[in-house]
Amino acid sequence: MMILGSHRGSHYLCIALESSVIVAKWAGFPENQFVTVATVPLSFRTTSLNLIETAPNELFLFLGDSSGHCHSMDLSRQEISPIEIPHQFQQNVGGVSRVGKWVKSVSFSTPHVQENILVLCFEKMGLVDRLGDDFDENEVRSLGWRNQVSFVVKFGTKYIVAGSTSVIDVINVETGKVVHVFATSMEKIRALRFLTCHGNKLFLQADEVKDGNRIGSILCIEITESII
């Protein structure tokens, strides 16, 4: 598994192997190749990778494992640590996880947001924490999803898109309010998959069954400027 990421003009290649993770940075002329900057051993099988900037020039690599847990690696220290779920969001009496499996991490550090924040996105909810302060689980707040999500995307400077196979919600991370909703037609069997976002437009792949045939199409959802 591998991902490409760009931050402040630098380009990174992250590769998860069976027992280690490699992070390489693009070196320009005359090398013109990726140069390894970190190789860290792993004790788990990686199922997802997510490279984000949590502060200026501070990069973290988030790794999901086969059990649905999340781990983080500070690229400057090259150490991997498990993400601890605050007590109030841990498993309930029935033994069912309140948060579900980890999906993605998203950071917001722009002038439009009063605090630099990190959103840990799980299948059933998002957990929002401030960056730059000592961890206090009592200050962690949650973002509720209406449906169990299959993808989460940062959108603009203060929104995230939480998507399932049938519903797309655009959520303000400051207020936790849903500002835009897109739902599939009840008359059609359709599954939604995220493709990309550009400006105020979301592009999705839609699968549906029509007259016994499975067809696919590309949807573009445009969010009004008043919301963005």
Model confidence over 133-189: pLDDT tens digits?
A: 555 667 789 998 988 999 999 888 788 999 998 888 999 988 899 988 888 775 665
Q: Is residue 79 part of a domain?
A: yes
pTM: 0.82
Q: Is residue 20 part of a domain?
A: yes
Q: Is residue 146 part of a domain?
A: no
| Number of domain units in the chain | 1
* pLDDT value of position 133: 54
pLDDT reading at 36 higher than 70: yes
* pLDDT value of position 65: 94
Q: Is residue 22 part of a domain?
A: yes
30 sits in the region (left: phi over 0; alpha: psi -120 to 50; else beta) called: alpha
Please report which confidence band the pLDDT of residue 95 belongs to, taking 50, 70 and 90 as the band edges: low
pLDDT higher at 22 or 217: 22
Percent of the chain past pLDDT 70, that is, above it, reads 86
pLDDT higher at 214 or 80: 80
* Sign of the torsion angle spanned by Cα atoms 17, 22, 27, 30: negative
Q: Is residue 147 part of a domain?
A: no
pLDDT in tens, 192-214: 889 998 878 889 998 887 777 88
Q: Is residue 191 part of a domain?
A: no
Name, of 14-23, 123-132, 140-149, the range with top average pLDDT: 14-23
Question: What integer is the mean pLDDT of 112-129?
Answer: 82
Burial pattern 116-155, b for ≥16 Cβ within 10 A else e, equals bbbbbbbbbbbbbbbeeeeeeeeebebbebebebebbbbb
Q: Is residue 27 part of a domain?
A: yes
Please report which confidence band the pLDDT of residue 109 belongs to, taking 50, 70 and 90 as the band edges: low
* pLDDT value of position 92: 66
* Mean of pLDDT over the chain: 85
* pLDDT value of position 142: 92
Q: Is residue 28 part of a domain?
A: yes
Give 9-13's long-range contacts (Cβ < 8 A, gap of 24+).
12/51, 12/59
* pLDDT value of position 41: 96
Range of the domain at 79: 1-83
Please report which confidence band the pLDDT of residue 61 belongs to, taking 50, 70 and 90 as the band edges: very high
Is residue 56 within 8 Å of 71, Cβ to Cβ? no
Around Cβ 96, how many Cβ atoms within 10 Å? 9
Question: What integer is the mean pLDDT of 24-39?
Answer: 95
